[in-house]
Amino acid sequence: MQINYSRPKLTTYQKAILDSEARYTITAASTKTGKTASHIIWLFEQSLSLKENQSVWWVAPVYQQAEIAFRRMKAQVTEKNFFVSNESKLTLITPVGSRIEFKSAEKPDNLYGDDVYSAVFDEASRAREDSWFALRSTLTATQGKCKLIGNVKGKKNWFYKLGERAKSGDPNMEYFKITAYDAADEGIIEREEIEQAKRDLPEYVFRELYLAEPADDNSNPFGHENIDACIQQSTGTPTAYGIDLAKYTDWTVIIGLNEKGEVVHFDRFQADWSQTLQKITATIGNTPAFVDSTGVGDPIVEQLQRQHPRIKGFKFTSQSKQQLIEGLVVAVQGQQVKFPEGVIADEMRNFEFEYTRTGVRYTAPQGLHDDCVMSLALANDCKQHNKPGLFYYA
C-alpha cells in the first residue's frame, strides 16, 4: 500500500529531537513549547513503517492525558477514515495494519507483556519510575526507540536522573532542553506572555515551568551559585593531579590543577587496568598526584608508585571522604578552584549530602556518577599539601 505523507512544519528544536539517532531521547521542556504535538508526529511516522499487528505506544501518567493525545492524533490526520479507531481501548489502526495504542502509566503492571516497536513517554517527570521499567521491558525484543518528554519537576525523580545520564555521555541517549524563550524565538509563544508569567509566579516555579531548570533542593554541599561562580575554561601546566579509579561501571577520571587551582587537564575514560596504568603514567610524569587506593585501587597505586614516587594513595572511608569533600567545599565557596562547564560541573551540581546516624554522607544520587567530583577533591587536596617548597607524604 502506498501512503502519500508530508511531514508537518517543525521548529528547529522539534526537528532535532525527532531526527535524533539515539535510541532514547530525554527532553526537558518548558510548558507550551509544542513537545506533545511534535512527538505525535514522530509516533505516527514510526507506525507507518511497521507491519500488520505491530504496535507503537503513547504512554502518559494518567488515562485522561493518554486520551487527549489519542484525540489529537486522530485530529492531526485530516484524511477521512484513515484510521480504524477503537475509542474504548484508545487504539488507532493504520492502513498498513499497525497499531497506535495510548496507555496510562497509573498501573505499571499493565504495561508488561507486549512487544513494542517505538514509544513516547509523555509527562515522564510526573510518572512513577516503575512505569518506565515496564515500558523499557516492552522495547527489549524489538530494540525499539523511545522518546521521553516532560516538564522539569525538581531533582528527586527518575526522569531528571535519566536526563543527567544522557548529558554525561550515555551512548544510547541524547538530552534536549527546550525553554519558553526557545519557543518564542520560533513564534510558538508570545514573549510578553513569558514575561507576565515571570511576574506572576514564584521564581523557582517560573524557572522550572518556563526555563526547564530544576529547583535546588538545598541538598547540594557546594551551593549552585558557588558552582556557577567557579566555571572557567583554563590553560596551563598541572602542578597537582587527582585520580579516581574506575570500579565496575564507573569512569577513571584524571584531573590536573595548575598553581592557581584551575582545571587544566581533564580525562574521563573506561579501560582495562593495563591501559589505565599506561595512560596515568603517560599523563602525570613527575607531578604530585593523589590516587584513589580503595579496594581494587590499592595494587594499582602500588604499581604506579614504583615509577612515580610522588604518588600518594588515598583510601576512602566515611570519615576521610567527609574531610576530603569538606576541603573541596571550602575551595569552591572561596572560588579557589575553577573548572569548565560540562561533565565536572554537572556532577558538582548533582552531588548530595544527607545526615545519618554516623554523620554526614556525601554521594551522587542513585544511578549517577561522582567520579569527577572525587577526582577534583583529590586534586585539590594534593595541591594543598604540595605547595611550592613543600612535599607531602602520607
Answer yes or no: are the C-beta atoms of 106 and 100 closer than 8 Å. no
Which CA distances in Å does 244 have to 135, 275, 292, 342?
35, 15, 5, 18
Chain centroid to CA 79: how far? 40
What totals of helices (H) and strands (E) does the chain contain, helices first?
A: 14, 15
In Å, how far from its chain's centre is CA 59?
21
Give the residue extent of every domain in the chain.
12-211, 224-385
Task: Give the contacts of 378 (CB within 8 A, at least 6 positions apart).
Answer: 241, 242, 243, 244, 255, 290, 291, 292, 314, 324
CATH topology of domain 224-385: Nucleotidyltransferase; domain 5 (3.30.420)
Please enumerate in sequence order all residues whose Cβ is within 8 A of that of 236, keeping only pairs 6 or more positions apart, or say none.
258, 259, 260, 262, 264
Residue 209's CB is within 10 A of a number of other CB atoms, namely 19
Q: Mapping DSSP to helix (H, G, I), strand (E, B) and coil, where does residue 175 land?
A: strand
Q: Which amino acid is at 45?
A: E
Q: What pLDDT, on a 0 to 100 scale, did the predictor assign at position 224?
A: 86
**Annotation: CATH topology of 12-211:** Rossmann fold (3.40.50)
What residues are paired with 57 via a beta bridge?
101, 119
Nearest-CA neighbor of 291 among 259, 252, 325, 257?
252
User: Hunting for cell 550515555 — which residue is that?
Assistant: 170
- Which pLDDT score, from 0 to 100, does residue 68 have? 95
> Own/partner pairs for 103-106, CB < 8 Å, 24+ apart?
103/57, 103/58, 103/59, 103/60, 103/66, 104/59, 104/60, 104/61, 104/62, 104/63, 104/65, 104/66, 105/59, 105/60, 105/61, 105/62, 105/131, 105/135, 106/61, 106/62, 106/63
How far is 161 from 120, CA to CA, in rounded Å? 18
Digit-by-digit pLDDT tens for the chain (394 residues) are: 677 888 999 999 999 999 999 999 999 999 889 999 999 999 999 999 999 999 999 999 999 999 999 999 999 888 888 999 999 999 999 999 999 999 999 999 999 988 999 999 999 998 999 999 999 999 999 999 999 999 988 887 899 999 999 999 899 999 999 999 999 999 999 999 999 999 988 787 898 899 999 877 667 889 888 999 999 999 999 999 999 998 767 899 999 999 999 999 999 999 999 999 999 999 999 999 999 998 777 888 999 998 888 999 999 888 899 899 999 999 999 999 999 999 999 999 989 887 666 667 888 877 788 999 999 999 999 999 987 544 444 4
- CA–CA gap between residue 135 and residue 110 (Å, rounded): 10
**pLDDT for the residue numbered 367:** 76
**Closest to 290 measured CA to CA, from 390, 388, 376:** 376
Whether 366 contacts 161, CB under 8 Å: yes
Task: Say what the pLDDT of residue 317 is.
Answer: 87
CB atoms within 10 A of CB 289: 29
DSSP string of 54-69, one letter each residue: -EEEEEESSHHHHHHH
Predicted local confidence at residue 363, as pLDDT: 85
**Strand ranges across the sheet with 311-314:** 263-269, 252-257, 240-244, 289-292, 311-314
Write out the DSSP string of 306-348: HH-TTEEEE---HHHHHHHHHHHHHHHHTT--BB-TTHHHHHH
Length of the chain counted residue by residue: 394
Question: What integer pLDDT is reported at residue 355 of this predicted model?
Answer: 65
The number of angstroms, rounded, from the C-alpha of 126 to the middle of its chain's C-alpha atoms is: 17
Q: Nearest CA to 288 among 320, 240, 252? A: 240
Identical fold, 12-211 and 224-385: no
